[in-house]
Amino acid sequence: MKIASLFKVEGYGVIVTGGASGLGLAYGEALAENGARVTLLDVDKARLDQETARLCSLGQDVRSAVVDVRDTAALDAAVDEAAALYGRLDVVFANAGIDSGPGFVGSWVGEQRERNAEGSLENYTDERWQRVIDINLNGIFRTARAAARHMKPRRSGRIIFTTSVAAYQCEPAIGSAYMAAKAGCAHLMKMVALELAAYQITANAIAPGFFATNIGGGHAKDPGVQAAMGKVMPMHRVGMPDDIKGLALFLSSPASAYLTGQQISIDGGWTLGVAD
């Protein structure tokens, strides 16, 4: 097999949750740029419309639907609709997620990372906990389940979870529920991989480090935050959404056919330790 055909995704039917922005949009772009047919699902209608129109104007086969991953019926219907339209469902990115605000420290950067009362354990509200778990863990489960219903009968498919380096390394600027949700996602991914391996369906996770997206109100797009975070990164810069496209294409394509149950960190070396 030629190297180029190892990465061929032309004609694939693809769904991305949280596809209107950031990493989900980058996944969608990576696949659509390479000839896949892509459906972006998101709660943000304005951004969905804008990005879908932009990608279609480039000649790409991209459509979208407003879907909240907390709404099982709407999510199932959107997945069914895309699979019926494409006549196949090859790749599903279970990606939608939120950062609900600071944890027990109040900021990512600064001389001293001050403690934050609101995000501390004794004040952490049920409402916040449940919202994060419902989107970042339950939403990922619902997406994987909907994907399996279409992939199992065809005995092929790729389910790609977005976890985080927070799945295994605590980050006090994000908060407890995010840690629990991402660790839960990482282990759920392994269970899904084990269960579906016999059907030639793979499940893997992308665990990003610090990427400049709109998450958490867009703090990661602030040049001051990027410069400060860049200093602690072994590669001396934060991640940009384009940095994730190669891994997304690899995990979607024939190149990774025998790889399953793996969480791959993509973080510029952040979790290796402090270099400089």
Ligand X SMILES: NC(=O)c1ccc[n+]([C@@H]2O[C@H](COP(=O)([O-])OP(=O)(O)OC[C@H]3O[C@@H](n4cnc5c(N)ncnc54)[C@H](O)[C@@H]3O)[C@@H](O)[C@H]2O)c1
**Is 162 a binder of ligand X (CB under 6 A)?**
yes
How many CB atoms lie under 10 A from the CB of residue 248? 27
Task: Kindly state the smallest distance separating residue 230's Cβ from ligand X, in Å.
Answer: 13
Cα-based distances in Å from 269 to 132, 223, 226, 246, 275: 27, 20, 15, 17, 9
Indicate which single residue of 20, 36, 137, 249 sits in contact with ligand X (rule: CB under 6 A).
20
Task: Kindly state the smallest distance separating residue 185's Cβ from ligand X, in Å.
Answer: 8
How many CB atoms lie under 10 A from the CB of residue 51? 22
**Which residues face 263 on adjacent strands?**
205
Restricting to residues 55-74, which ones interact with ligand X according to CB under 6 A? 68-70
Question: What is the C-alpha to C-alpha distance for residues 155 and 88, in angstroms, rounded to an integer?
Answer: 11
How many CB atoms lie under 10 A from the CB of residue 184? 18
Restricting to residues 77-106, which ones interact with ligand X according to CB under 6 A? 95-98
Q: How far is CA 112 from the centre of its chain?
A: 30
DSSP 138: I
Q: Which two tokens stand for residue 237?
A: 């810069």
**Whose Cβ is closer to ligand X: residue 68's or residue 118's?**
68
**Whose Cβ is closer to ligand X: residue 88's or residue 144's?**
144
Question: What is the C-alpha to C-alpha distance for residues 101 and 215, in angstroms, rounded to an integer?
Answer: 10
Task: Kindly state the smallest distance separating residue 8's Cβ from ligand X, in Å.
Answer: 26
Residue with tokens 């496209």: 245
Task: Kindly state the smallest distance separating residue 70's Cβ from ligand X, in Å.
Answer: 5
Question: What is the C-alpha to C-alpha distance for residues 157 and 150, in angstroms, rounded to an integer?
Answer: 9
**Whose Cβ is closer to ligand X: residue 39's or residue 88's?**
39
User: x/- binding map, residues 32-51, to ligand X, per CB under 6 A?
Assistant: ----------xxx--x----
Cα-based distances in Å from 41 to 25, 62, 99, 234, 253: 10, 11, 18, 34, 21
**Whose Cβ is closer to ligand X: residue 20's or residue 148's?**
20
Question: What is the C-alpha to C-alpha distance for residues 233 and 254, in angstroms, rounded to an integer?
Answer: 32
Residues in the chain, total: 276
**Whose Cβ is closer to ligand X: residue 154's or residue 190's?**
190
Indicate which single residue of 78, 135, 233, 248 sits in contact with ligand X (rule: CB under 6 A).
135
- Is residue 178 part of the annotated active site? The answer reads yes
**Is 268 a binder of ligand X (CB under 6 A)?**
no
Restricting to residues 165-184, which ones interact with ligand X according to CB under 6 A? none
Question: What is the C-alpha to C-alpha distance for residues 142 and 41, in angstroms, rounded to an integer?
Answer: 13
Restricting to residues 206-265, which ones interact with ligand X according to CB under 6 A? 208, 210-211, 213-215, 220
**Whose Cβ is closer to ligand X: residue 72's or residue 156's?**
72
**Is 24 a binder of ligand X (CB under 6 A)?**
yes
**Is 189 a binder of ligand X (CB under 6 A)?**
no
The residues carrying an active-site annotation are 178
Q: Which residues bind ligand X (CB under 6 A)?
A: 17-18, 20-24, 42-44, 47, 68-70, 95-98, 135, 139, 162, 164, 208, 210-211, 213-215, 220
